[in-house]
């Protein structure tokens, strides 16, 4: 049964390998002229290489036949011998020089295309991905292109060219038995190598999977360093990591054992083939049908064939491993974004900046509905706030407006245009977002500020930092704007990160603003300063504020109260207090909590 599964899986894997090799060709097309020139250098190098034993035969025969030509004949032949040696090396190096651009350009194009594709994939994919595993697959997949090109141009094709040239010489100058034994040995060697290597591939696949898994766990534990420390779970993380590596170790040991068996079998086949060839050659010399030069020639050919052949197993294994690694990256490239622009989608035509959620329903999965018949409008220059308990569906609204997801029912409209009908790039260009969880790039403060509009001048960036009340803090640092923030901004406090996020949203100059819990990490004093900034920034903007602290939205033109995905109350702050509903209860509860905190600080 297992054998049948393997037999069914192998043709599928072979089809994938050929498909992936075909997918690799477009990355070589830009330098097809260089590739052909490299192949020409390869053929010339092999012609010189095969010519060396032929000249060596003439030297030996010339020295043994006529003593009087000893001082004349070998000189020209020795010069030819040296010239062929130099030519072989020269054309090999020229091949490397010419082909280098082809290899590295293909790597660069593939890496860039994969990263572009990853950025195009939808939020749903990225929420479910493992960063460490993706990073590892990207690295291995990119390197696999270089490896396959390297082995094909520097190992497989040269070997085939040399085999063809040697076959022509043996068939035209010597008994058929020499060709049969030589290439019979080659055939047995190749069949043995391929069959054993196929068997060993299971171990390699297991090692790859476990290596990616262990790397992902290590990266995940380091990214969540603070959480690990909070709960004292260093040993748990180490145990999970080491447990995966233990499985990897077992697979690696089995892989090594099987490789030793492969190497021994290869050596035995080569040994038997060389012995048989030398036996026939020696017999030919004794019979007088072959000269000593012929014996030297056959021996030299054997060395030239079997020395590279000795690496065939390693080359085949590496090609198979590289094809397996390449398959990971091309499967990744086959992932389709859930959210895609329509083929004829126009750019968003922004006029007033009105936002409308029109009877919107949404669910991540059919069995779990997040939003139910959400209907409201944010008019130009108006500020609408959405409040509610955790899990009410507030943050989902900003994701739908930004079109990270498409609505299940209803529509999200900007100036009357359904966001599903316009290009994502044009939609997102007019929206500025300050998220609840601000993640910064592991670069300078200046880079993170400028991210809102990379072409902005320094004075504009400093002005945005001033509006977000972080300019004085930045300028007080020893390295100022060139201060590194650390991975995910870990070297800054939550409030500092939040203010940088507000500054880069200001710098973007969007018509529509979304503040998603934008002051959640700020102390009361800084919060009031930021709220004043937000009021200034929000003037003449269409503004959606998602908040938990009700004190931050009392000035909103309209407040929507959400519960279990529905809008259950709406109105201004005063109107909602007069309704004596959920909003009023939340307000009173938060005022009591705030008073208790004030009393505790006195």
Q: What is the pLDDT of residues 29-63, one digit of tens each?
A: 777 788 788 888 888 888 888 887 877 777 777 66
Distance CA 395, CA 546 (A): 7
| pLDDT score, position 407 | 92
Residue 3 has pLDDT above 60, yes or no: no
Residue 591 has pLDDT above 70, yes or no: yes
Is residue 534 included in any domain, yes or no?
Answer: no
Number of domains making up the chain? 3
Residue 70 has pLDDT above 60, yes or no: no
| pLDDT score, position 8 | 42
Same domain, 179 and 218: yes
Which comes out higher in pLDDT, residue 386 or 494? Answer: 386
Same domain, 189 and 42: yes
DSSP letter assigned to residue 361: E
Distance of CA 122 to the CA centre of its chain: 15
Is residue 6 included in any domain, yes or no?
Answer: no
What is the residue range of 551's domain? Answer: 350-430+512-526+539-569
**Would you call 218 helix, strand, or coil by DSSP?**
helix
Residue 4 has pLDDT above 70, yes or no: no
Is residue 470 included in any domain, yes or no?
Answer: yes
Same domain, 68 and 166: yes
Tokens describing residue 411: 């529509």
Q: Band of the pLDDT at 412, cuts 50, 70, 90?
A: very high
| pLDDT score, position 9 | 45
Q: Band of the pLDDT at 580, cuts 50, 70, 90?
A: confident
- Say if residues 451 and 518 touch (Cβ distance below 8 Å): no
pLDDT in tens, 110-141: 878 888 877 777 666 666 665 656 777 777 77
**Would you call 546 helix, strand, or coil by DSSP?**
strand
Same domain, 186 and 103: yes
Is residue 293 included in any domain, yes or no?
Answer: yes
Q: What's the mean per-residue pLDDT of the chain?
A: 81
| pLDDT score, position 571 | 92
| pLDDT score, position 418 | 94
Pick from 516, 520, 537: nearest CA to 469: 537
Same domain, 419 and 446: no
Is residue 51 included in any domain, yes or no?
Answer: yes
Same domain, 370 and 421: yes
Pick from 438, 434, 439: nearest CA to 506: 434
Distance CA 445, CA 486 (A): 10
The CATH number of the domain holding residue 496 is 3.40.50.300
Distance of CA 57 to the CA centre of its chain: 54
Q: Band of the pLDDT at 5, cuts 50, 70, 90?
A: very low
Same domain, 319 and 449: no
Is residue 592 included in any domain, yes or no?
Answer: no
Is residue 2 included in any domain, yes or no?
Answer: no
Is residue 585 included in any domain, yes or no?
Answer: no
Which residue among 299, 334, 369 closes a domain? Answer: 334
The CATH number of the domain holding residue 278 is 1.20.1560.10
Same domain, 496 and 560: no
Distance CA 107, CA 28 (A): 10
Q: Which residues contact 63 (CB under 8 A, 6 or more apart)?
A: 70, 73, 74
Tokens describing residue 419: 């966001």
| pLDDT score, position 385 | 92
Same domain, 37 and 62: yes
Q: Which region holds residue 211: left if phi is over 0, alpha if psi is between -120 and 50, else beta?
A: alpha
pLDDT in tens, 386-402: 998 877 888 889 889 98
- Say if residues 244 and 361 touch (Cβ distance below 8 Å): no
Same domain, 502 and 521: no
Q: What is the mean pLDDT of residues 160-178?
A: 83
Helix pair 292-309, 234-287: axis angle to 10 deg: 170
Among 250-259, 456-465, 493-502, the range of highest mean pLDDT: 456-465
Same domain, 522 and 504: no
pLDDT in tens, 559-574: 999 988 899 999 999 9
Residue 65 has pLDDT above 60, yes or no: no
Strand order in the sheet with 417-418: 368-378, 355-365, 409-414, 417-418
| pLDDT score, position 132 | 59
Q: Band of the pLDDT at 83, cuts 50, 70, 90?
A: confident
Same domain, 406 and 301: no
């Amino acid at each position: 049964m297992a054998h049948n599964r393997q037999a069914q899986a192998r043709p599928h894997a072979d089809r994938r390998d050929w498909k992936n090799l075909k997918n690799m060709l477009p990355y070589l097309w830009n330098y097809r002229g260089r590739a052909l020139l490299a192949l020409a250098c390869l053929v010339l190098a092999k012609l010189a290489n095969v010519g060396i034993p032929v000249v060596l035969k003439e030297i030996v025969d010339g020295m043994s036949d006529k003593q009087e030509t000893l001082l004349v004949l070998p000189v020209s032949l020795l010069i030819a011998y040296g010239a062929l040696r130099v030519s072989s090396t020269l054309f090999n190096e020229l091949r490397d020089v010419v082909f280098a651009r082809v290899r590295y350009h293909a790597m660069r194009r593939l890496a860039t295309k994969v990263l572009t594709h990853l950025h195009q994939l939808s939020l749903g994919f990225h929420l479910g991905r493992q960063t460490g595993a993706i990073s590892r697959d990207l690295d291995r997949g990119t390197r696999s292109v270089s490896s396959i090109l390297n082995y094909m141009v520097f190992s497989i094709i040269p070997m085939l060219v040399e085999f063809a040239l040697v076959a022509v010489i043996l068939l035209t100058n010597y008994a058929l038995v020499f060709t049969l034994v030589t290439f019979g040995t080659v055939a047995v060697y190749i069949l043995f190598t391929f069959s054993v290597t196929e068997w060993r591939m299971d171990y390699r696949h297991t090692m790859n999977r476990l290596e990616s898994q262990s790397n992902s766990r290590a990266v995940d534990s380091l990214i969540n360093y603070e959480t690990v420390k909070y709960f004292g779970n260093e040993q748990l993380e180490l145990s999970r990591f080491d447990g995966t590596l233990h499985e990897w170790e077992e697979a690696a040991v089995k892989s090594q054992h099987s490789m030793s068996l492969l190497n021994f079998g290869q050596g035995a086949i080569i040994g038997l083939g060389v012995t048989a060839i030398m036996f026939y050659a020696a017999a030919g010399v004794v019979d007088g049908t072959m000269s000593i030069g012929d014996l030297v020639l056959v021996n030299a050919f054997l060395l030239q064939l079997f020395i590279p052949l000795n690496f065939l197993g390693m080359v085949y294994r590496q090609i198979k491993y590289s094809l397996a690694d390449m398959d990971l990256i091309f499967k990744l490239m086959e992932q389709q974004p859930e959210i895609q622009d329509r083929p004829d989608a126009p750019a968003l035509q922004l006029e007033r900046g009105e936002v409308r959620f029109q009877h919107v329903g949404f669910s991540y999965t059919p069995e779990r509905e997040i939003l139910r018949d959400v209907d409201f409008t944010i008019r130009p220059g108006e500020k609408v706030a959405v409040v509610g308990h955790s899990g009410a569906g507030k943050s989902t609204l900003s994701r739908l407006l930004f079109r990270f997801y498409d609505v299940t029912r209803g529509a999200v409209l900007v100036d009357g245009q359904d966001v599903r009908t316009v290009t994502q790039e044009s939609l997102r260009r007019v929206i500025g977002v300050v998220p609840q969880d601000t993640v910064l790039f592991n670069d300078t403060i200046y880079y993170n500020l400028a991210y809102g509009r990379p072409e902005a001048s320094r004075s504009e960036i400093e002005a945005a930092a001033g509006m977000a009340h972080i300019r004085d803090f930045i300028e007080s640092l020893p390295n100022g704007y060139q201060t590194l923030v650390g991975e995910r901004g870990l070297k800054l406090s939550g409030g500092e990160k939040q203010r940088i996020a507000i500054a880069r949203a200001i710098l973007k100059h969007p018509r529509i603003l979304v503040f998603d819990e934008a002051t959640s990490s700020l102390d009361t004093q800084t919060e009031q300063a930021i709220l004043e900034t937000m009021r200034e920034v929000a003037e003449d903007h269409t503004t959606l504020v998602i908040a938990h602290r009700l004190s931050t939205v009392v000035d909103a033109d309209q407040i929507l109260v959400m519960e279990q995905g529905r809008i259950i109350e709406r109105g201004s702050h005063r109107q909602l207090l007069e309704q004596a509903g959920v909003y009023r209860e939340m307000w009173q509860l938060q005022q009591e909590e705030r008073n208790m905190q004030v009393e505790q600080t006195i």
